Structure 1
């Protein structure tokens, strides 16, 4: 299969139920411009109609019998259409979310800043992956029909908001910006004042107003990346959907499907994750009821007037909504389900084919029963593909997710090794993964020479240096290592012991390192250190650098870079 063909997909997002049908966004890659495109469509009972044509439209919203949406460009514009010629309402540098309010609109926006001016850092979180230096922050604005006024903002980010036309609530990192923890605030649009409503410390991934108050998807467990996400109500009630609310399944589809909840009357609608599956749940009377039985992963949804529309993926199809399939000629290979202490899947050609073992990132995410671009490409290139959810993964309970804290690539290494032995496959094994999966690859080859080769992407080699160079390293590495202060002697020794660079003399396995040059999550210095160390030790090693790409290089990097990446991975694996 041509790597370009692997990415020649159309992906559905942002379904919006209306009396006219379901509006949605269709996303694709324009290889000629090396860029991503999106347009708005309408699905009725009889047909699917394209409504916008420039390829830069997103965020459909149906209000007052008209379609609202955001058109991208040098700046974003909020547009209004009666399904004819659209009119521009207002423009702003970036419009991330909007809702009607009285005679105008409330929106999350980010102002344009001069990137050529010197930058002064005054807090530990002064840059962020895929955003760069934080010269501007996401704030809450009000457009009253004539002018735009900032309502809530500062040296923090407003991350979500909702309004019923009277009350306005918003989530923001005001009280925990360095470590990106959020609270919910009551916002007074007229006075531009706000009051904190949540107590303690925790995360707020999405929020919604109900008839009884606000509800949000998140937790109040402080700095705990492994924490189970619940639906938490204003009165303190907490409900879990599946093993954790929301969707913690990783994918390599090039649309960023964010966390969301919706309120409809006295119901709250959310996703719930269990094992390799994600479904839609309805929460009412402090109970969660699963309202879909999808053999796959629900990626996005809308719920209005007791009607549900959702977008999902399964191993055969990257993107489906009801009976609408924008990729009729795409047929992914269905994996075989395997259990040996942990759950996993095998996309198998035959027992003698070479095998590629994938380890997911996070580490507290999971693989799911869905379509993966890279897995299907490598299968077409002659490889068996194996992927598992070992300890540390979400979807199996909070204790399971927390099990590797303080001992990365330990219990999960043993679980994956035992899983592979149980498969009775005869071909050579190769190991790969990104982020934590890249760390795992770097660390595993210091423990075994079982693998014929490794490919570590956006990886970690030195947990000490990462504390001072990563956008989250100064707190994330500490809590994941089970320490409080990463800059004392005992903590440094613990972080070094957990670092692949500390054990580099044990490596015998050929390794390819792949990294985006603008990765602020796991900075490229991590790959540079390991490359120089392995090269100095006489180990076969390559470092592939992608200019302009962030930590998302394998999911939403520059399209031509992603094509090149698949080609290089296949060539490396075949040569070993």
Structure 2
């Protein structure tokens, strides 16, 4: 008998993360995350692969891969839940040839990213307090005294904010905290204790924040900017020479923001954006950095986005999104790209801007690494959970993409060799609904979406349905396995989802809905529902539920104040009032005005209250009739809790059936990486709300 996808299955899934080749390309390692329901946390094991045969390296240490220290030695970063507020870092060393993990370093710093420069020399980002930037130099007694004082302050009944943003989603209070560049060196005495074997040196000024850094020979190239009281989207590019012990400026006009930069053999390239054409969500152009100037690479056009914009709920941690290699005389950037409704791996020749798509298939390539023409990647397909796969560049032909509006990827899972099998048993004898594509037109746009049909779908019966709306708005749905949607299909719902105007993968003009929130996008959704009902008349039009989170939460609030065609709705981590959101959210001061159509750079000296209110669902709450469930988290600083509170209260006092669930200790990522029990409760609440209102 065929089994069904259950809500609690998400506790059983394994989540591969961050595959990373050793320097010789002879082996690689990756993490496997999994839920510990009893402790309500996720734990991580490390796996290694030699000759395409995976084996488990760790089982009890609960650590993540940091970097390769040699072809056989891996450095791991362990952060225990009980040490969440600790400013110390423990690094462990383990050999893929056998043996237990051993303590490698105890560092008196809050370590961010760390990369090897040369034997015994490492570069890292470290979070510091601007008011006490050299706390890492304190002796043990002073350090303990300061930590005790900070603990008292953490338990105090007040905070002090002096800058915007003063908090960050998933980071807590960020006021006065900076990311500094550090150089870490091993001492000559290998017999020293782990806490005294390393020398640390801060490179950047106390008021400078480093956004990212790369290694090129004996230089560390880094992007960042001096901290300001209000958000500053522009950055500068610097290089630290370890031999000369000096910092030089590569670009300091401070008139663009970087989406990424790449260094190889002394050459530096950046993807930079002045945000004027399409606002903050616009794509960056490719430039070469020469003599303090940015030289535009004319052959490059950002027709689709670099990076992964797919939303889903079966991937926890991240991994490499790009890698720069030297091939013959060319410097090549391999990068994940979002194209229409899936991710692919593209090859960009940086000197010319030539773009070739070489690994292109339905679903979601989460991350990858490449050495000597061999790719390792994490992938989720329409009927599979994430696993680690291998592909070879020699087997891949460049793909021509003529029209992204109607493009269907030509590749398939056959292009890959599956290496890991952590989730194979989860879908054995389980009904997995296959995405059924529906093409439609709306507001002059050629669009498509999908439906998931319940098992043994019978056109002579009547079915309830769910419309699911993604966040972003510059994100996309793919055909990759989506747990919550499969749960609803297993419970007898027809599930529908689509990529409307504002979504990623089709260029900036398509993605740009500034000053049109609730306009073309809303009409696209309603036309999609009409197209689905026309193709599947077995759907009961009086029993259609609707849900969405973040931008999808905004759209849910907009929908219930502009139509009563849905029998119920579930609004998740939503926006109801662009005025309050703009003055509370960690991204609000710029994102709110930008998305509502304000001129770039004039957010702080112009009163946009009227335009912000125009696009606020709360303004139209008198029209609401739909029973609505609100789900929010009290540490969501992206779309803060008051957004749900305002909408819920406004609807309740008007006699509309509402219910609000507030998850404590969670942030904007609840549905994707929230605590296991909270993710279960969230999906139970939404599903129960739907089932109650289709009776």
TM-score range, shorter chain: over 0.9
Could you tell me how far 1:22 is from its partner in structure 2?
2.1
User: Structure 1: how far apart are the matches of 2:549 and 2:307?
Assistant: 22
Q: Is residue 25 from structure 1 mapped to residue 40 from structure 2 by the alignment?
A: no
Q: Is residue 81 from structure 1 mapped to residue 81 from structure 2 by the alignment?
A: no
Could you tell me how far 1:566 is from its partner in structure 2?
0.6
Q: Is residue 207 from structure 1 mapped to residue 261 from structure 2 by the alignment?
A: yes
Larger deviation, residues 80-89 vs 483-492: 483-492
Could you tell me how far 1:126 is from its partner in structure 2?
1.5
Q: Is residue 456 from structure 1 mapped to residue 556 from structure 2 by the alignment?
A: no
Larger deviation, residues 448-457 vs 72-81: 72-81
Deviations 1:39-69 (A, max 9, x none): 2111223521111222522134333332222
Look up the match of 1:492: 609
Structure 1 residues 35 and 194: CA distance shift in structure 2, 3 A:
farther
Pairing of 1:192-341 with structure 2 (within 5 A): 193=247, 195=249, 197=251, 199-211=253-265, 213-217=267-271, 219-221=273-275, 224-235=279-290, 236-238=295-297, 239-240=300-301, 243-257=304-318, 260-265=321-326, 266-284=331-349, 285-322=352-389, 323=418, 324-331=420-427, 332-341=432-441
Look up the match of 1:3: 7
Q: Is the 8 A contact 1:348 1:384 kept in 2?
A: yes
Could you tell me how far 1:355 is from its partner in structure 2?
1.1
Deviations 1:184-232 (A, max 9, x none): 3223456464525264544434433223512345534368232124554
Larger deviation, residues 231-240 vs 147-156: 231-240
Look up the match of 1:540: 657
Larger deviation, residues 301-310 vs 449-458: 301-310
User: Structure 2: how far apart are the matches of 1:558 and 1:363?
Assistant: 25
Deviations 1:314-354 (A, max 9, x none): 12122122212321023443211122122211112245321
Structure 1 residues 292 and 78: CA distance shift in structure 2, 3 A:
same
Q: Is the 8 A contact 1:513 1:527 kept in 2?
A: yes
Q: Secondary structure at the match of 2:677?
A: helix
Deviations 1:547-575 (A, max 9, x none): 00111111111211110011111100001
Deviations 1:361-419 (A, max 9, x none): 111111122121211122222211111110111101100001x2112011011111111
Larger deviation, residues 559-568 vs 306-315: 306-315
Deviations 1:400-451 (A, max 9, x none): 001x211201101111111111112422211110111001000111111001
Larger deviation, residues 317-326 vs 146-155: 146-155
Q: Structure 2 length normalisation: TM-score?
A: 0.78
The correspondence for 1:13, drawn from 12, 17, 31, is 17
Structure 1 residues 56 and 155: CA distance shift in structure 2, 3 A:
farther
Q: Is the 8 A contact 1:181 1:204 kept in 2?
A: yes
Q: Is the 8 A contact 1:168 1:188 kept in 2?
A: yes
The correspondence for 2:524, drawn from 409, 415, 429, is 415
User: Structure 1: how far apart are the matches of 2:319 and 2:159?
Assistant: 30
Look up the match of 2:231: 178
Root-mean-square deviation (Å): 2.4
Q: Secondary structure at the match of 2:647?
A: helix
Q: Structure 1 length normalisation: TM-score?
A: 0.93
Q: Secondary structure at the match of 2:424?
A: coil
Look up the match of 1:362: 472
Which consecutive residues of structure 2, in runs of 5 or more, have no partner in the other structure? 130-146, 187-197, 390-417, 442-446
Q: Secondary structure at the match of 2:336?
A: strand
User: Structure 2: how far apart are the matches of 1:67 and 1:364?
Assistant: 36
Look up the match of 1:69: 76
Larger deviation, residues 189-198 vs 393-402: 189-198
Larger Rg: 2
User: Structure 2: how far apart are the matches of 1:500 and 1:509?
Assistant: 14
User: Structure 2: how far apart are the matches of 1:444 and 1:489?
Assistant: 29
User: Structure 1: how far apart are the matches of 2:675 and 2:256?
Assistant: 33
Larger deviation, residues 460-469 vs 162-171: 162-171
User: Structure 1: how far apart are the matches of 2:266 and 2:343?
Assistant: 27
Q: Secondary structure at the match of 2:386?
A: strand
Could you tell me how far 1:115 is from its partner in structure 2?
5.8
Q: Is the 8 A contact 1:24 1:60 kept in 2?
A: no
Q: Is the 8 A contact 1:269 1:283 kept in 2?
A: yes
Q: Is the 8 A contact 1:16 1:60 kept in 2?
A: no
Look up the match of 1:557: 674
Number of matched pairs? 575
User: Structure 2: how far apart are the matches of 1:115 and 1:464?
Assistant: 35
Look up the match of 1:433: 548
Q: Is the 8 A contact 1:205 1:260 kept in 2?
A: no
Structure 1 residues 59 and 126: CA distance shift in structure 2, 3 A:
same
Q: Is residue 140 from structure 1 mapped to residue 144 from structure 2 by the alignment?
A: no
Q: Is the 8 A contact 2:126 2:182 kept in 1?
A: yes
Q: Is the 8 A contact 1:172 1:184 kept in 2?
A: yes
Which consecutive residues of structure 1, in runs of 5 or more, have no partner in the other structure? none
